[in-house]
Structure 1
Amino acid sequence: MDATIFAPSPTLTVTIEDHESGPDIHVHAGGQGVWQARMLRRLGVDVTMCCVLTGETGLVVRNLLTDEGFRVIAVERAGRGAAYVHDRRDGARAAIAETQGDRLGRHELDELYGATLREGIDSRLVLLSGPDGDGVLPHDTYRRLAADLRGNGARVVVDLAGERMTAALEGGVDLLKVSDEELRADGLLPEDADEDDTGPIIAAMEQLRERGAGDVIVTRGGEPFLVLDGDRVLEVTQPQLQAAETRGAGDSLTGGVCAGLAAGERLRDAIVTGAAAGALNVTRHGLGTGDAETIRRLRDGVRVRVLRGEDVDGDRPAAEDDSRGRVSPDGLASLAQPGEETEEVRGHREEGA
């Protein structure tokens, strides 16, 4: 199982942390697409990352991405790449220096667009992510990519907000993930909406469907997130774990959902994988990290309640798999363990799902 990620401008991240023997300096590739890809890879999905790598930082990012096991399809250019240096020695994150990098030129964008279209058609599952800066590429790129990919048989997932989300919806997407804060910032939720009242969020989700989304996931900080899945509205409660770092939890959730979809799960089950992945990530300092076995076990602690539609029998263990011909949670975990393919997974793969 594989997936393609559109990550236009990965970020070189340098984080300084305290250590008993002196400063501890960590260097990683980062940014939304990288964090999502990292979780997909942890769950056994082969990831192709389409990106632009710029200047000296781009050379470092390429090596870091390759070392993590990603297949990197990159357009290389001179200039300033996206990067940041953060200091966490006192426990809080303080930005020392940050840059979103240079805007993509017409030629780089054309090459990146073509590579994403080619790889996405092959993988059939494409996750469109955004760069850190607003001025890196035209928002309309997301409209064109979404429309062209879906028009050629690929399934498109987006985790975007603002003008990028608006553009992607105009092209049409199969699954949109967004937060309630982002909806509020876009004027789709009232500023004074009661956090316990799901009505305004459900109304916003239905509006997003009218604008071009197939299914919709809306996260709500520490509250259960909501899913518009066909005609049903689901409320998903994640396991409550002690947080070490809340950044990246939403991207881990998105990556987990996409891993489930890549494994052939229906959305009802894929959101459980995503919920477990997002819950685990808050316990870790590394964004988009976690291991498949722990995520599999955390699935048992996820609860899905149907707020509207069929299957209104209240809370039930979400890890229950009542679909035939799909990969179960155990099957998904086995995909992350080379050489331990189960009969179930082998049969699923031979069927070409």
Structure 2
Amino acid sequence: MILTVTPNPSLDRTYEVPSLDRGAVLRATGDRVDPGGKGVNVSRAVAAAGVLTTAVLPLGGASGALIAELLVAQGVDVTAVTVAGQTRSNISLVEQDGTLTKINAPGPELTEEESALLLETVRTAAGAPAWIAVCGSLPRGLPPEWYADLVARAREAGARVAVDTSGPALTAALRARPDLIKPNASELAQAVGRPLATLGEVARAAQELRSRGVGAVLASLGADGQLLASAEGTFHGTAPVAAVRSDVGAGDASLAGFLIAGGAGPEALASALAHGAAAVQLPGSAMPVPADLRPEAVRITENPPPDLPLSAPATF
């Protein structure tokens, strides 16, 4: 069973439009409403794969109630911490060429009592799951160290912890030595304090974080695939994509694929790539089901060529 924690969930409304013209009335060619937030998406992808998952999240107001309803309908067990504020709603506009424009609301401000209750809820549940995935931005009211506190409590309870966040929250979480982090190239560059222009520089940055106590680094590199640095070695993988329809939640689907395949080694990396490639070809933040996956198309290389340039060098 995989437990996810999403401190700042959302109700995601996605509209597909031919093109984005400022000041014009746009006619959507498709629309959908999904429960959102990075951890929520991980749970949705895990459930779609037929694996048990529980989503721990603060929920408030009508949008919070709808999120819980939608998650239960998708096979996700929901452990909600009721908060006074209204859960946020986000809007995504996806153009025909795959260009994505997102409008993310800030979300409610959590009180000290709500923050403490959320931490205690995770601690209580931390003994059962194979993995705990803590994901996404922190809402107002929670300091950057909140994730570090959560990681420490979960590890004390014997759980393996994966972290997918950015900025000061990631910096703080690194000090708690999570078992896995999943940065993109820019987040990895920020964590080590230098730009990354080649696959070798990405690998060295990932190994540097491992030397600080992080168990494994699963780095998302966009069109350049993903790199895994772990105790099993350093691996790079790619998966072909015919056309990008929406990349909302694709990284979350990838993390789900990695965890449900055991969370270690090249087999888990291959699962992550297959899930991510399938997700970008689906509308909105829809999560792939097993029939959407093409594992035979994934290519994995151990100790990839260090001088291979990134198509989009990462700055910090």
Provide the TM-score with structure 2 as the length reference. Answer: 0.85
Equivalent residue, structure 1, for 2:180:
175
CA distance in 2, matches of 1:275, 1:93: 21
CA distance in 2, matches of 1:268, 1:22: 40
Equivalent residue, structure 1, for 2:119:
113
Equivalent residue, structure 1, for 2:151:
146
Equivalent residue, structure 2, for 1:259:
260
1:301 aligns with 2:301: no
Query: Which piece of structure 1 moves more, 265-274 or 218-227?
Result: 265-274
Q: Is the 8 A contact 2:34 2:285 kept in 1?
A: no
CA distance in 2, matches of 1:180, 1:64: 32
Q: Is the 8 A contact 2:278 2:288 kept in 1?
A: yes
CA distance in 2, matches of 1:89, 1:219: 23
Q: Is the 8 A contact 1:48 1:119 kept in 2?
A: no
Q: 1:88 to 1:243 in 2, by over 3 A?
A: closer
What is the count of residue pairs matched by the alignment?
295
CA distance in 2, matches of 1:62, 1:9: 14
Displacement of 1:24: 5.0
CA distance in 1, matches of 2:242, 2:2: 29
Higher radius of gyration, 1 or 2: 1
> Residue deviations 1:304-340, cap 9 Å, x none?
11117xxxxxxxxxxxxxxxxxxxxxxxxxxxxxxxx
Q: Is the 8 A contact 2:164 2:182 kept in 1?
A: yes
Equivalent residue, structure 2, for 1:285:
283
Equivalent residue, structure 1, for 2:311:
none
Aligned ranges for residues 74-223 of structure 1 at < 5 Å? 74-88=80-94, 93=100, 98-131=104-137, 135=140, 137-186=142-191, 188-190=193-195, 193-194=196-197, 197-223=198-224
Q: Is the 8 A contact 2:15 2:28 kept in 1?
A: no
What letter matches 2:183 in structure 1?
A: V
Q: Is the 8 A contact 1:4 1:49 kept in 2?
A: yes
Q: 1:85 to 1:229 in 2, by over 3 A?
A: closer
Equivalent residue, structure 2, for 1:42:
48
* Identity value in percent: 26
Tell me the SS of whatever aligns to 1:218: strand
CA distance in 2, matches of 1:158, 1:147: 12
Q: Is the 8 A contact 1:12 1:30 kept in 2?
A: yes
CA distance in 2, matches of 1:34, 1:22: 25
Tell me the SS of whatever aligns to 2:142: coil
Tell me the SS of whatever aligns to 2:273: helix
Q: Is the 8 A contact 1:177 1:217 kept in 2?
A: yes
Equivalent residue, structure 1, for 2:313:
none
Equivalent residue, structure 2, for 1:242:
243
Q: 1:202 to 1:69 in 2, by over 3 A?
A: same
Equivalent residue, structure 2, for 1:14:
13
CA distance in 2, matches of 1:280, 1:136: 36
> Residue deviations 1:124-155, cap 9 Å, x none?
31001123x66352221111111121122111
What letter matches 1:214 in structure 2?
A: G
Q: 1:217 to 1:90 in 2, by over 3 A?
A: closer
Equivalent residue, structure 2, for 1:339:
none
What letter matches 2:91 in structure 1?
A: V
Q: 1:9 to 1:59 in 2, by over 3 A?
A: same
What letter matches 2:163 in structure 1?
A: V
Q: Is the 8 A contact 2:85 2:110 kept in 1?
A: no
Aligned ranges for residues 310-325 of structure 1 at < 5 Å? none
Query: Which piece of structure 1 moves more, 157-166 or 80-89?
Result: 80-89
1:68 aligns with 2:67: no
Tell me the SS of whatever aligns to 1:141: helix
CA distance in 1, matches of 2:185, 2:35: 28
Structure 2: gaps spanning 5 or more residues: 19-26, 305-316
Displacement of 1:83: 1.0
What letter matches 1:201 in structure 2?
A: V
Q: Is the 8 A contact 2:192 2:205 kept in 1?
A: no
Displacement of 1:276: 0.4
Tell me the SS of whatever aligns to 2:225: strand
Tell me the SS of whatever aligns to 1:122: coil
Equivalent residue, structure 2, for 1:311:
none
Q: Which has the higher contact order (CA 8 A, sep 6+)?
A: 2
Runs of 4+ in 1 over 6 A off after TM superposition: none
Q: Is the 8 A contact 1:224 1:237 kept in 2?
A: yes
CA distance in 1, matches of 2:199, 2:240: 20
